[in-house]
Amino acid sequence: MIYVGVTGWGDHDTLYSHGISARDKLKEYAAHFPTVEVDTSFYAIQPEKNSTKWVHDTPDGFRFVVKAYQGMTGHQRGEIPFANKDEMFEAFLLSIKPFLDSGKLAMVLFQFPPWFDCTKENVSYLRYCRDKMQDIPIALEFRNQTWFYPQYKESTLRFMEEEGWIHSICDEPQVGLGSVPTILHATKKEKTLVRFHGRNVAAWMKPNGNNWREVRYLYRYNKEELLEWKKWIVQLQKETKDLYVLFNNNSGGDAADNAKQFIELLGIEYTGLASKQLDLF
């Protein structure tokens, strides 16, 4: 199955009725898409009550891609707010328990920062993460091109296969060391993740501006670009059972529209989505 959705559910204004409360947005979101990326978990490990609510707000067939906490991927500057890394992982595992218990967890996404390069030390840390996450499905996304240098590419993909990592395949600007190429290779037969970050080359090259977070993902995919990806998705379907496709190009509110356009181009008609009854109010 192909699950198409977007990252987060709070900022996609075209999806929601005027005046809808933030508390009800996920219920309405689930009437449009069968999956979502939980990005709040990156900024802080969420209370278990939050995950419980999100599970209850979505239909049985809905699936969550939960982003790993920033302290687990090395994004966080300074000391982590835990006694040690083991305690941090234990807190995260507790926070996602409702997703696991309900069967709605698609995977946990480990997105590593641009300075996480291909070294023995970092390979060892990936093994540590795999061990701490037990048998939970986990996806791996790099932001450093060294992992896919010609001399390392095959070893990187083989490592992911052997260690049980789901490949997070990216569409993003190609602007040097801090970006990775699109590698159409599934490392798990059960699941593969595809994430669309847009192709805003200028903003990707200038990450230190005052509003870089707002403009980096400012991009709307055109029909030709999505049709190219349609061919690639058909190719990936031969390698993996379930594909999760997430649009992250939302600086200008384009992600939801592009996701709906892509669903239409793929000819998908989802069943089992939530009711759109909130539109009545």
The tens digit of pLDDT for each residue in 65-100 reads 999 999 999 887 777 788 899 999 999 999 999 999
Residue-level pLDDT at 206: 67
Tell me if residue 64 falls in helix, strand or coil: strand
List, in sequence order, the alpha helices (H) in 7-147: 25-29, 40-43, 48-56, 70-73, 85-95, 97-102, 120-132
Residue-level pLDDT at 280: 43
Residue-level pLDDT at 278: 46
Give 275's contacts (C-beta < 8 A, 6+ positions apart).
31
Q: Are 255 and 248 in contact (CB under 8 A)?
A: yes
- Backbone angles phi and psi of 105, in degrees to 5: -85, 115
- Report d(CA 206, CA 127) in Å as an integer: 32
Q: Of the candidates 6, 68, 59, 7, which has an alpha carbon nearest to the alpha carbon of residue 261?
A: 6
List, in sequence order, the alpha helices (H) in 120-186: 120-132, 153-163
Residue-level pLDDT at 205: 67
Spans of the chain below 70 pLDDT: 205-214, 277-281
